[in-house]
Chains A and B, each alone.
Chain A
């Protein structure tokens, strides 16, 4: 029985870690290609979740759309409305990222002070979060208020169908991103800019397009993470900000710039948090990320899969 409790805790950690991974990929890409620590990245998660909530609200409010899109796919709690909402949210979050870059971050980059982007992002994060508070208030929101029955398997383990969907979607996105980065022209261009922006630029790579692609990928994955959190937990205006430390810890742990490192880091952070809740209680959950971050910076600052610059 004790073993089952520990296994369950690891399983829960992997589910949470999957969403952390999705966010950490964006952090690590922005860091590798745009070369700054994007403190506003968490807000794409928040906005992604709330964009989807807005679309779901619109669908629920219209009889025609409800009839067209139908009910949930058993045994999941969601159906076509959430899929449409997720796609809309990906588009909206990407647009938000591109607009922010065009009117704000691009100019800060031009100032040639690397850190102007970081403090600028920190400010943008607080503004974006408080815009959500302004629109929706600070109370939690839910996609669905129905309680899902968990599936039992193995030695007394439980997982809900939605959580299985979450892990499946994450795996699918990571594999797609891998194929994109290794098999397409743009993917190769992105890796080129990551290795050496000047060399990439003189070899005829469109750096501006690479930067746009970076924002779109980061914001899209974050939006999906926001939707998945809304689906399996709840939405609050602070979800993105609260996730920021785990996201950075995951990116640094895996090795800044490494996509697979970010995925691995996310899963490690998720499981560590979950186990820490078992060992020392839930109060200090968020401090686990800091502890892991501190340790890795002390012993192996380039991260698990990173190479020393």
Chain B
């Protein structure tokens, strides 16, 4: 029973971290209509930032700066935001698909850096011994996970609250206006490019924060964390939960991560280990079919977007 509870804590930590990434994607796609196919790139930039700043010195590796985790997490957000800023400048003025292609490209490029720039990223060995906050206080594994869950919950709650404030503010209304009709919004004097860039940078910073938390929680980050499968998973979470709704993003993250973890556990239990590669393939196929069915049968997702005019005024 304690095992199950301990696993549940571990599961929720990861699900909430992905929930945070999903909230970032929801700001970009759900509210601003920005199509980011490089989620994993921003996530992994955040993860390596925390790994480099916070982990102890090691031979042949850049590191040993001893930056405390809270500061390292802020740096992770800044680093991911900076990458988004650079990618956004040439692409956010163009048709939406160009951003899709460019973000796909940046994620592939960052994956190559993760694999090959060994002094920075550890290459295939990855970066190890990334500390957790207050690691000396919470030594016992169960308590350490519980404490981390509390931190993650607090960060996700703060992020959720801030995003809800933002999307219900005049700023959020302009964002949705641009998404719906750029020409009309432009006629009202709104600079679509500037708003898009803001949403893209803030959303990517949240992805970087998620990556930073992940690195600290797992204690390790490597090139195999930079695979495009993560981008796909986050997208499925958002589509299943309901894009344009922050609650939907979190519900989608927990339910899809649950389905992913359960199917992985189930296949490991049923199939012999020789089929590990094929079991991994089956898992992706399963999630892909979930995505396809939701897109076809319930494109609004589980929750769907609320029709909100402004804070306090709800319209059905």
Residues of A within 8 A of B (CB): 31, 36-37, 39, 104, 107-108, 111, 113-116, 118-120, 122-124, 126-127, 130-131, 133-134, 137-138, 241, 244-245, 248-249, 252, 283-284, 286-287, 289-290, 293-294, 297-298, 301, 309
Quick one: given A31-B97, A123-B236, A297-B102, are A287 and B296 in contact (CB under 8 Å)?
no
- In the complex, chain B residues whose CB is within 8 Å of the CB of A124: 288, 292
Residues of B within 8 A of A (CB): 29, 33, 35, 37, 87, 89-91, 94-98, 100-102, 104-106, 108-109, 112-113, 115-116, 228-229, 232, 235-236, 239, 277-278, 280-282, 284-285, 288-289, 291-292, 295-296, 299
Q: Is the interface of B mostly helix, strand, loop or mixed?
A: helix
Q: Select the residue from A31, A104, A301 with max chain B CB neighbours within 10 A.
A: A301
Quick one: given A118-B35, A122-B37, A134-B282, are A107 and B100 in contact (CB under 8 Å)?
no
Chain A, Cβ-Cβ closest to B111:
A286
Quick one: given A122-B37, A123-B288, A130-B282, are A108 and B102 in contact (CB under 8 Å)?
no
- In the complex, chain A residues whose CB is within 8 Å of the CB of B232: 122-123, 126
Asked if B108 contacts A245 (CB within 8 A), the reply is: yes
Give the CA-CA distance A134 to B276 in the complex, in Å: 11
Tell me the smallest distance from the CB of B86 to a CB of chain A, in Å.
9
Give the CA-CA distance A248 to B95 in the complex, in Å: 14
16 extra A-B contacts, CB within 8 A, seeds A286-B109, A297-B90: A31-B97, A37-B97, A104-B292, A104-B296, A107-B296, A111-B295, A119-B235, A119-B295, A123-B235, A124-B292, A127-B284, A134-B285, A245-B104, A287-B112, A293-B101, A294-B90
- Quick one: which of B105, B116, B295 contacts A284, CB cutoff 8 A? B116
Quick one: given A130-B285, A245-B104, A301-B90, are A137 and B278 in contact (CB under 8 Å)?
yes
Asked if B101 contacts A37 (CB within 8 A), the reply is: yes
- In the complex, chain A residues whose CB is within 8 Å of the CB of B89: 298
Asked if A298 contacts B90 (CB within 8 A), the reply is: yes
Quick one: given A119-B235, A286-B112, A287-B109, are A108 and B295 in contact (CB under 8 Å)?
yes
Chain B, Cβ-Cβ closest to A127:
B288
Asked if B104 contacts A39 (CB within 8 A), the reply is: yes
